[in-house]
Amino acid sequence: MAKDGLSTDPYKGVRDFYPQDQFVQRFLFEAMARACESFGYEEYAASILEPADLYRAKGAANEEIANEQTYTFTDRGDRLVTLRPEMTPTAARMVAAKRRELAFPLRWYSIPNVFRYERPQKGRLREHWQLNADLFGVAGIEAEAEAIALAHRVMLELGASEHDFEIRVNDRALIEAGLAEAGVGPEEAHAAMALLDKRAKLADFDEKLAVLLGSDRASALAGYFERVTSTTRLEQLQELLLAQGVRTMVIDTAITRGFDYYTGIVFEVFDADPSNARSLFGGGRYDRLLELFGEDPIPAVGFGMGDVTARDFLESHELLPSYVPATELSLCVLDPEAMTHAIQLASALRSQDVTVAINYSCKKPADQLKAADKLGIPFAIFVGAREVESGQYSIRQLATGRETILPANRIADHLFSSAG
Ligand code: HAM
């Protein structure tokens, strides 16, 4: 019966991770880490808390995120604190702080949780985990090629094949040239860019653009986008990607990316299945962000990939791993007199790397087997007076019901060979 207790719901827009969910998280994170490390990226981390100023400087972020989507509060010492809405400013801050000690090119990755006060919906939550992989110190197009090849590698590590996704790439220089050609000055370019970023999402995009720029300039811009569909840099990038077997890049001049800090190539990875329409990755070149810290610029390229859309991707392509608990063996104690013996046996097995959970309940064998089965534990051993006396144990495989009788020192080997 429901009582008037506290709600068991998590806070709006965030998730609880029960073991089955955390299992998938771990699968995702391990695939991400493997891909990054194969390209020579080293893991770093930082606190969730950042001074709010980090996101308020001009050019630091995305105005919508900084003004409307951050969790910002005043601490007890009157400091304005923000829960990080993304990792890029933190990474830039850390690199700027130690730039003289760090060796470039510098390759870093991290899988932080980040917070954005958004309206929760499919693919968008208020807390998500986000792989960030960033390469600092490479000015040439090889850096973009590496970032995109790494994004591609992450997808393959997740079990995707090339036709499951598409990497859409654009060059901001192309958009800027278009704006200049249409006569849009630098004062209006920012608003125009923000609108262009929403091009695919807004049904009334053309009208909105005409309101912003006037119909002449809006149609000049539309004409430009029809005529100009690539740049030399994009062609070079395509070539470098093909050279390493990445065939999934497509040029898409509708990709602009919302952040002010991007300065050149930008890209997003999309699921080829339109039912999971949100972008899986977003990234690009941001050569000027480190200047915010009073440092000389350091060229930088990187991307973020969120766990929410990644999980949706795995689900829609039937690539979700099936849950296997960390525990291999349930040690079921049959009566209190056998308890010490069972605890000793468990301890001996753990020192041989077997993962063992003891059922202390002394309930009926069938009940204990049911509990083990519910947890998904593949093996069980009963320990009662007979086992204590004989030193022989029956190892039961729950899925098949098969039992094997062995002395204590052969149990570990048996489990490892049966686990395949
Ligand atoms: P972003 O496009 O804002 O870029 O986020 C990157 C990815 O994080 C998105 O493609 C999406 O998968 C996921 N994501 C973003 N917001 C949410 C949300 N509210 N709920 C669930 N998933 C979300 C950045 O954050 C840049 N800092 C990435 C970057 C790194 N650029 C250079 N280095």
- 8 A C-beta contact, residue 297 and residue 291: yes
Mean pLDDT for 84-96 is 96
H or E segment and range at residue 333: strand 329-333
User: DSSP secondary-structure letter at 336?
Assistant: G
CA of 305 to the centre of ligand 1 (A): 6
Quote the CA–CA distance of 55 and 76 in Å, as a whole number: 21
* CA 69 – ligand 1 centroid, Å: 13
For ligand 1, whether the C-beta of 280 sits within 6 Å is yes
Task: Judge contact between 260 and 63, C-beta under 8 A.
Answer: yes
- Residue with structure tokens 């395949």? 420
Radius of gyration of the chain (CA): 27
For ligand 1, atom 15, name the residue with the nearest CA: 306
Residue 196 pLDDT level (bands cut at 50, 70, 90)? confident
Beta bridge partners of 372: none
Centre of ligand 1 to C-alpha 202, Å, is 20
Q: Tell me how far CA of residue 399 lies from CA of 345, 375, 378, 396, 402, in angstroms.
A: 23, 13, 7, 9, 8
- Binding site membership of 178 for ligand 1 (Cβ less than 6 Å): no
Predicted local distance difference test score (pLDDT) of residue 66: 75
* pLDDT given at position 65: 74
- Mean pLDDT (the chain) is 94
pLDDT at 61 over 70: no
**Through-space distance between the first and last CA atoms of the chain, rounded to whole angstroms:** 45
Average pLDDT over residues 283-309: 94
Contacts of 112 (CB under 8 A, 6+ apart): 45, 46, 48, 84, 87, 90, 129, 130, 132
Residue 257 alpha carbon, nearest atom of ligand 1: 2
Instruction: Please give the residue that has the higher pLDDT: either 88 or 193.
Output: 88
Pick the atom of ligand 1 nearest to 281's CA: 10
Confidence band for 58, pLDDT divided at 50, 70 and 90: confident
pLDDT in the model for residue 52: 94
Under 8 Å CB-to-CB from 309, ≥6 apart: which residues?
123, 271, 276, 278, 279, 280
d(CA 415, CA 403) in angstroms, rounded, equals: 12
Model confidence at 2: pLDDT above 70: no
pLDDT, residue 391, reads 97
Q: Report in angstroms the alpha-carbon separations of 15 from 8, 20, 242.
A: 12, 13, 39
Q: Which amino acid is at 67?
A: N
For ligand 1, what atom is nearest to the CA of residue 125? 20
Ligand 1 contact, 85 CB (< 6 A):
no
Q: Is the dihedral of CA 369, 374, 380, 385 positive or negative?
A: negative
From the CA of 283, how far away is ligand 1's center (Å)?
Answer: 8
Q: What is the pLDDT of residue 190?
A: 84
Model pLDDT, residue 420: 52
Q: Is the pLDDT of residue 194 over 90?
A: no
70 lines ligand 1 (CB under 6 A): no
Cβ atoms of 266 and 170 within 8 Å: the answer is yes
Cβ(265)–Cβ(284) under 8 Å? yes
Is pLDDT at 414 greater than 80 in this prediction?
yes
Helix, coil or strand: residue 118: coil
Strand order in the sheet with 392-397: 356-359, 329-333, 379-383, 392-397, 403-407
The average pLDDT across 172-177 equals 92
Confidence at 277, pLDDT banded by 50, 70, 90? confident
Asked if 166 and 270 touch (Cβ cutoff 8 Å), the reply is yes
When pLDDT is averaged across residues 178-201 and rounded to a whole number, the result is 87
Mean pLDDT value of segment 151-173: 96
Confidence band of 1 (pLDDT split at 50, 70, 90):
low
- Bridge partners of 270, per DSSP, are 166, 279
Confidence grade of residue 419 (pLDDT, cut at 50, 70, 90):
confident
- State how far the Cα of 290 lies from the Cα of 12, in Å rounded to an integer: 34
105-109: average pLDDT: 98
Structure tokens at 398: 């729950």
Residue among 41, 48, 134 at smallest CA distance from 95: 134
Compute the distance between CA of residue 346 and CA of residue 378 in angstroms, rounded to an integer: 16
Torsions phi, psi of 353, nearest 5?
Answer: 70, 20
Per-residue model confidence (pLDDT) at position 193: 86
Q: Please give the structure tokens belonging to residue 416.
A: 């490892």
Burial of 328 (0-12, 13-18, 19+ CB in 10 A): buried
- Containing 282, the helix (H) or strand (E) segment is strand 279-285
Least confident among 57-61, 174-178, 346-350: 57-61
Report the distance separating Cα 81 and Cα 72, nearest Å: 5
Contact 259, 61 (CB under 8 A): yes
pLDDT-based confidence at residue 27 (cuts at 50, 70, 90) = very high
Percent of the chain with pLDDT over 90: 84
Query: Rounded to an integer, what distance in angstroms lies between the CA atom of residue 147 and that of residue 107?
Result: 10
Q: Judge residue 400's burial from the number of C-beta atoms within 10 Å of its C-beta, 0-12 exposed, 13-18 middle, 19 or more buried.
A: exposed
Q: Please state the three-class secondary structure of 244-271 as a single string.
A: CCCCCEEECCCCCCCCCCCCCEEEEEEE
Q: pLDDT digit string (tens) for 328-381?
A: 999 999 999 999 999 999 999 999 999 999 999 999 999 999 999 999 999 999
